[in-house]
């Protein structure tokens, strides 16, 4: 799967977002190491702290299906700026795949790519619990 294919899947997932409060829909597509892809959409709630990011939605689907190793994550928003994962999403991604590549795409078709380690330079992991 190419970067563009994964970004297209994220863009399609964005269409299913539920964002009546922010009106800022986001979609994500997570490619697992085995080639399977799970998509997620942003889901807001009147209690804004209960909002589910598109990235976490995709991770939850993958983990629920038994996948625990991820290759790439594409995030798409119909915006002029790049949408990068929030801190919670970064930490959750680190839990499963510290080497995951994060693609952030915007509405003009351009995208940037980051290794997760550059987005989360001081992660909290299992080794801190030992």
The per-residue pLDDT for range 46-58, each reduced to its tens digit, is: 998 899 999 999 9
User: Does 32 appear as a known binding residue?
Assistant: no
Q: Alpha carbon 93 to chain centroid distance?
A: 8
Note the pLDDT tens digit of each residue in 9-24.
Answer: 999 999 999 999 999 9
**pTM, whole model, 2 decimals?**
0.94
100, two tokens: 């995951």
102, two tokens: 């994060």
Note the pLDDT tens digit of each residue in 53-105.
Answer: 999 999 999 999 999 999 999 999 999 999 999 999 999 999 999 999 999 99
Nearest partner of 78 among 1, 12, 6, judged by Cα: 12
Euclidean distance between CA atoms 75 and 49, whole angstroms: 20
User: Does 53 appear as a known binding residue?
Assistant: yes
Band (pLDDT 50/70/90 cuts) for residue 5 is: very high
Known catalytic residue at 55: yes
Catalytic position from the list 31, 55, 122, 130: 55
Euclidean distance between CA atoms 79 and 92, whole angstroms: 24
Q: How far is CA 89 from CA 23, 55, 121, in A?
A: 20, 6, 14
Which CATH superfamily groups domain 3-129?
Answer: Cytidine Deaminase, domain 2 (3.40.140.10)
Q: Alpha carbon 40 to chain centroid distance?
A: 8
């Amino acid at each position: 799967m190419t970067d563009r294919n994964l970004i297209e899947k994220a863009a399609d997932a964005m269409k299913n977002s539920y964002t009546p409060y922010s009106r800022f829909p986001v979609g994500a597509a997570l490619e697992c190491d085995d080639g399977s892809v799970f998509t997620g959409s942003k889901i807001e709630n009147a209690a804004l702290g209960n909002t589910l990011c598109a990235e976490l939605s995709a991770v939850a689907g993958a983990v629920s299906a038994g996948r625990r190793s991820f290759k790439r994550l594409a995030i798409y928003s119909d915006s002029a700026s790049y949408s990068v994962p929030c801190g919670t999403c970064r930490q959750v991604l680190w839990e499963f795949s510290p080497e995951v590549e994060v693609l952030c795409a915007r509405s003009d078709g351009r995208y940037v790519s980051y290794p997760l380690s550059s987005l989360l330079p001081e992660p909290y992991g299992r080794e801190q619990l030992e």
